[in-house]
Amino acid sequence: MSSQKIFLFDFDGVIVDGMHEYWHSSLLACEKYLNSHCISVNQKLYKTVPNSFKEIRPWVKYGWEMILIVHEIIKTENPLKSDNKDDFINNYHHNCQKILNDNSWNAEDLQKILDKSRQFQIDKDFKSWVNLHNPFFEVISFMQELKKRQIKAGIITTKGGIFAEKILKQLNIFPEFIFGYESGTKIKIAEKLTKTYEILGFIEDRKKTLIDIKQNSETSHIPCFLADWGYLKESDKNKLSNEIKLLKLDSIQELVAI
């Protein structure tokens, strides 16, 4: 086992609350770059994140899905609202695929325009874009404590790595590495890292990701922690296996004892 000890972190929902940024950037992507005749965008939409978007967020795996959700919420006809969101959620992946097919879109192109929307904001007003993210200061403090103890930190996120890096720099956090969506799946990244590091834990708010880590023979030894302050479904905290621990924000400092 390597003597290099490291903690792994998801980004959105674990280190920062990016709910406002995702809504704002996806809405801007719909307005500026998405070719759709079904939507109407006005500036009032940017001011408040709809409850329907917040409620669907825990089902999202990749950033491009946010554009689909925003598109459905701001449609001029039959928009997605809180009163019909359950139907959308109950067949989430099928519905996302149907929207792609109906509009002749593909996930890669949507991800590119989401990144383009972010870059536009960064070039125009970097500070305003950064301020759309609300850091969880308990996690920031924990990462600083790890550094004092010469334990490294690594980020594995489905956000573009370059954007996560810009935000972390503003928080004065400089992890050993940042893997974004462009680096591949989280489980494949974790597999590679086990060859170099002793991984003390992986803090993530997507339960399915942690289950996949535990069910993979190459990564099953990694201690997994489900962040209860993240974007969780109501059912996520129920029936957790003994191998995945529910972690509360005010208890995160206790992990330094591992």
CATH of the domain at 10: 3.40.50.1000
E-only strand ranges, the chain:
5-9, 16-17, 134-135, 152-156, 177-179, 198-204, 224-227, 244-247
Residues 140 and 12 in one domain: yes
Residues 36 and 10 in one domain: no
Q: What is the DSSP letter of 156?
A: E
Each of the 258 residues of the chain gets a pLDDT tens digit; together they read: 557 999 999 999 999 999 999 999 999 999 999 988 899 899 999 999 999 999 999 999 999 999 999 999 999 998 998 889 999 999 999 999 999 999 999 999 999 999 999 999 999 999 999 999 999 999 999 999 999 999 999 999 999 999 999 999 999 999 999 999 999 999 999 999 999 999 999 999 999 999 999 999 999 999 999 999 999 998 998 888 889 999 999 999 999 876
Range of the domain at 76: 19-130
pTM to 2 decimals?
Answer: 0.92
End-of-domain residue from the set 114, 130, 146: 130
Q: Could you give the angle at the alpha carbon of 234 between the alpha carbons of 158 and 25, nearest 5°? A: 35
Residues 184 and 173 in one domain: yes
Residues 121 and 30 in one domain: yes
Three-state DSSP class for 23?
Answer: helix
End-of-domain residue from the set 79, 97, 130: 130
Residues 13 and 89 in one domain: no
Residues 167 and 219 in one domain: yes
CB-CB contact of 15 with 140 (8 Å):
yes
Domain count, the chain: 2
Residues 28 and 120 in one domain: yes
Residues 83 and 190 in one domain: no
* 148's tokens: 């004092």
Residues 147 and 178 in one domain: yes
Q: Which residue has the tokens 């009032």?
A: 44
